A and B are shown apart, each in its own frame.
Chain A
Amino acid sequence: MGAVLAAVLGASLAGCSSTGGKRAEDRAKAAAQGRPAVSTPRWTFAMVTHAGDGDTFWDIVQKGAKEAAAKDNINFLYSHDDQAQQQAQFVQAAIDQKVDGIIVSLAKPEALKDVLGKAAKAGIPVITVNSGSAQSKEYGALTHIGQDEEIAGEAVGTELTKRGRKKAVCVLHEQGNVGHEQRCAGAKKTFGGTMENLYVEGTNMPSVQAAIQAKLQAEPDLDAVLTLGAPFAPTAVKAKDAAGSKAEIDTFDLNESVARDLKSGALGFAVDQQPYLQGYEAVDLLWLYKYNANTLGGGRPVLTGPQIVTKDEAAELEEYIKRVTR
C-alpha cells in the first residue's frame, strides 16, 4: 500500500514542471506583493493615463505603481482613456473624490491643462509621468518622471548610425501621439542615413504587418525598421521574413517576445524607458511629498530612460521581463 502511494506520489511529482507555469508565477507574485513598510495614514492616490485598452506598456507602469502603493500603504486607483477629453474627465472625477494625490500622463497636454489647474486649486499634489516633460512644471506638477522622447529618439539614431545603417523607416502605431512623433524626429536628427515615417493602425495587428511588409517590398534597400512599441517588433520581424528583406528590426520598449528575439538575434536592439520606474517612482515620490515634503529633480524631469538593451542585457533581464516588471 505504502509502496503504491509512494509510486503515485513519485509519478505525480515527476509529472510536474520544475520551471515556469502557474507555480512560478505565484512564487513571483508572493515575492513582489509585499506588506506596507510604513505607518503613514492610508492615503488615496489616483493614476489617470492616456493608455488604450490592453496596452502591455501601461500594465508594467501600473504594476510598478501598485507595488509601491502596497509598500507605502496607499489606496491606489487607476483609470485610463485614449481620448483626451475622457482622460480629463477622469482626472476631474479623481478631484471630486478628494484623493490625496494624482498621477497623470500628458500625452495630450493641453487637454489636461484646465483640470490640473483645478487639482492645484483643490490642493492635490500632481506628478506627471511618461510624456509631457515640457508642460509638467508649467501645469503645476511637482515632478515629471519619464523619458524625454526626443533624447530617446536621438539615442536610437546614434545607435543605428553606429550599426552602419543607411535607410530606415520609423513605424508609428498611434496617429496623433505627440511623443511618437518626437521619437521619430529625434532618431532622424542623429541618424546618419535617411529615415521616413510609416503610419500603421496599431489596434489592428494584421494590418500593421501588411503595411510594414508592403513598405519593405516596395523599397528593398531599406536596412532598418524601427517600431515604437514592443508588441510591434515581432510583427515587424514577421513582415521582414515574409517580404524576404534583410533589414534590421529595432524597437522601443521591452516584453517577453522582444527579449526572446533579442537573444536569438532577430532584433538588433531595444530602447527601454523602464515603465516600472515610472509607476513606482510616481507613487513613491507622492508619498515622500505627503510624508516629508520632498521633491525630486529640482524642477527638471527625472529621466527613466533611454537604456539601450542588446543581446547580452536581454539574457540578464529576461527573468524580470517574464514577471512583467521590465
Chain B
Amino acid sequence: MSTATAPPPAARDERLAHVSLVRRLLGRPELGAVVGAVAVFVFFSFAAPSFLQASSLSTILYSASTIGIMAVPVAMLMIGGEFDLSAGVMVTSSALISSMVSYQLTANVWVGVGVSLLVTLAIGFFNGFMLTRTKLPSFIITLGTFLMLTGLNLGFTKLISGSVSTKSIADMEGFPSAKALFASQWTIGDVTLKVTVLWWLALVALATWILLRTRAGNWIFAVGGAAEAARAVGVPVVRTRIGLYMGVALCAWISGQHILFSYDVVQSGEGVGNEFLYIIAAVIGGCLMTGGYGSAIGSAVGAFIFGMTSNGIVYAQWNPDWFKFFLGAMLLLATLLNAWVRKRAEAK
C-alpha cells in the first residue's frame, strides 16, 4: 500500500502506471480521519466560544500529544496485525521504575531513567517473544501482561514506599536536565507549548519514514497483511513482531518519563484504560483492525481528534456525563467515514 512515487516507467507495466495526485490522496489511509478532524474542528469552533483561542488550542495540542506519542507505535503494531493491551499501564510502570530506582539508590535521576528504559524494553520484548513463541493471540498475551503490570505497579510501590504513590524526586541530582528533556515547556504570550508535542511530531516523522521508506516498513506491512506468505518470501516475521512490541515499550518509556518529570511523583494506579485511547486514535486514523493497512500520520490525526473532543466538551460547557457517549459516536462516525472514503478510492 506504500504510495512511494514510482520512477517514470520504461516498460508499460500496469503496476508502474502513473497515478494522479487526487487518486494518490484518496488512497491514503488517513484521508477519512483528516476529513473527520476538520469536521470536529469546525463543529467545536461554533459550539464552544473559547475553543479557538490560542491558549485553548495549545491545551488541546498537549492533550493530543500525550495520546499521540503512544498512538504512533500502537498504530505500527496494528499495521503489523497485533494489539497491545498492556500499553496503558506500561507507561505508569515505566515512570514508577525510574522514580523508585533513583530514590531508593539515591542515585542521579538519569540512572533511574536508564534502568527504566531497559526494563520497559524488556517488557516489550517479553510481549513479542511470548507472542511469537506460544502462537497465542496477542489479546491473551498482552492482557496477561496488563494484569501483571497493574498488580506489580501497586504491589511494588506499596512495598517500597509504603504508600500508593512514589516519593518526590524533584530535589535530586539530574532532575532539572531530565525535566528539560521530557517535560519542558515554552511560553509565548499566553500560549504554552509542551515538549511532548515535539516528541510526538518527531515520532510521527520517524514512524512514517520507517513505514514508507525502509525495508523494515515493508516487513511490517507484509507481516500484518499475510504473515505466512511473508515468511515464505523471507521476511523475518519473529524479529519484526518483537521489534514492534519493543517500539511500543520505547514510546511507553517516553510517555512515562514525561509523566514523572512533569509531576515529580507517580500514582501507582494510573494508566488503566488508556490502552484503548491509543487504539481508538489508531483506528480513527485509518488503521485496520485486521492489520496490513494504516499509517502513523493517521494515528496523529486520530489523537488530535481525541484531544479536540475531550477538551472541546469542556470548552463547550456541556455536561460531562455525556462525554463517553460522544466519544463513542465520534469513533463510529470516523470509522464509517474512513471505510466509505476507502471504498470510493478503491472503486475508481
Q: Determine whether the beta carbon of A177 is less than 8 Å from that of B311.
A: no
Chain B residues, CB < 8 A from A113: 263-264
> How many of chain A's residues touch chain B, expressed as a range?
20 to 34
Q: Quick check: is A276 within 8 A (CB to CB) of the other chain?
A: no
Contact A96 to B315, CB < 8 A, known contacts A110-B168, A175-B164, A178-B164: yes
Minimum CB distance partner of A110 in chain B: B265
Q: Determine whether the beta carbon of A176 is less than 8 Å from that of B314.
A: no
Task: List the 8 closest A-B pairs by CB distance, nearest first.
Answer: A176-B269, A110-B265, A175-B269, A93-B314, A96-B56, A97-B50, A110-B263, A176-B164
Chain A 83-107 interface mask (CB, 8 Å, partner B; 1/0): 1111001101111111000000000
Chain B residues, CB < 8 A from A97: 50, 56, 314-315, 317
Chain B 323-342 interface mask (CB, 8 Å, partner A; 1/0): 01000000000000000000
Chain B residues, CB < 8 A from A114: 262-263
Q: A89 to B270, alpha carbons, bound, how many Å? A: 15
Q: Quick check: is B176 within 8 A (CB to CB) of the other chain?
A: no
Q: Determine whether the beta carbon of A90 is less than 8 Å from that of B269.
A: no
Q: Determine whether the beta carbon of A86 is less than 8 Å from that of B310.
A: yes
Minimum CB distance partner of A98 in chain B: B50
Q: Quick check: is A144 within 8 A (CB to CB) of the other chain?
A: no
Chain A residues, CB < 8 A from B208: none
Q: Determine whether the beta carbon of A85 is less than 8 Å from that of B259.
A: yes
Chain A residues, CB < 8 A from B320: 78-80
For A84, give its contact among B164, B263, B311 (CB under 8 Å). Answer: B263
Chain A residues, CB < 8 A from B165: 108, 110, 176, 178
Q: Determine whether the beta carbon of A79 is less than 8 Å from that of B168.
A: no
For A79, give its contact among B59, B268, B314 (CB under 8 Å). Answer: B314
> How many of chain B's residues touch chain A, expressed as a range?
35 or more
Q: Quick check: is B267 within 8 A (CB to CB) of the other chain?
A: yes
Q: A50 to B154, alpha carbons, bound, how many Å? A: 19
Contact A176 to B259, CB < 8 A, known contacts A93-B311, A93-B315, A181-B164: no
| CB of A187, distance to nearest CB on chain B (Å) | 16
Chain A residues, CB < 8 A from B267: 84, 108, 111, 176, 178
Chain B residues, CB < 8 A from A85: 66, 259, 270
Q: Interface residues of B: mostly helix, strand, loop or mixed?
A: helix
B interface residues with partner A (beta carbon < 8 Å): 50, 53, 55-56, 59, 62-63, 66, 150, 154, 163-165, 168, 259, 262-265, 267-271, 273-274, 310-311, 313-315, 317, 319-321, 324
Chain A residues, CB < 8 A from B163: 178, 181
| CB of A99, distance to nearest CB on chain B (Å) | 10
| CB of A247, distance to nearest CB on chain B (Å) | 25
Minimum CB distance partner of B310 in chain A: A86
Q: Quick check: is A316 within 8 A (CB to CB) of the other chain?
A: no
Most-contacted residue by chain B among A77, A111, A113, A175 (CB, 10 A): A175
| CB of A79, distance to nearest CB on chain B (Å) | 5
Chain A residues, CB < 8 A from B262: 114
Most-contacted residue by chain B among A90, A92, A95, A199 (CB, 10 A): A92
Contact A175 to B268, CB < 8 A, known contacts A86-B310, A97-B50: yes
Q: Determine whether the beta carbon of B270 is less than 8 Å from that of A176.
A: yes
| CB of B44, distance to nearest CB on chain A (Å) | 12
Q: A95 to B314, alpha carbons, bound, how many Å? A: 11
Q: A79 to B274, alpha carbons, bound, how many Å? A: 19
Chain A 42-71 interface mask (CB, 8 Å, partner B; 1/0): 000000000001000000000000000000
Q: Determine whether the beta carbon of B154 is less than 8 Å from that of A92.
A: no
Q: Determine whether the beta carbon of B269 is less than 8 Å from that of A93.
A: no
Q: Determine whether the beta carbon of A77 is less than 8 Å from that of B269.
A: no
Q: Quick check: is A174 within 8 A (CB to CB) of the other chain?
A: yes
Chain A residues, CB < 8 A from B150: 175
Q: Determine whether the beta carbon of A89 is less than 8 Å from that of B168.
A: no
Q: List 9 A-B contacts (CB under 8 A).
A: A53-B321, A80-B320, A83-B274, A96-B315, A98-B50, A110-B263, A111-B265, A175-B154, A178-B267
| CB of B279, distance to nearest CB on chain A (Å) | 16
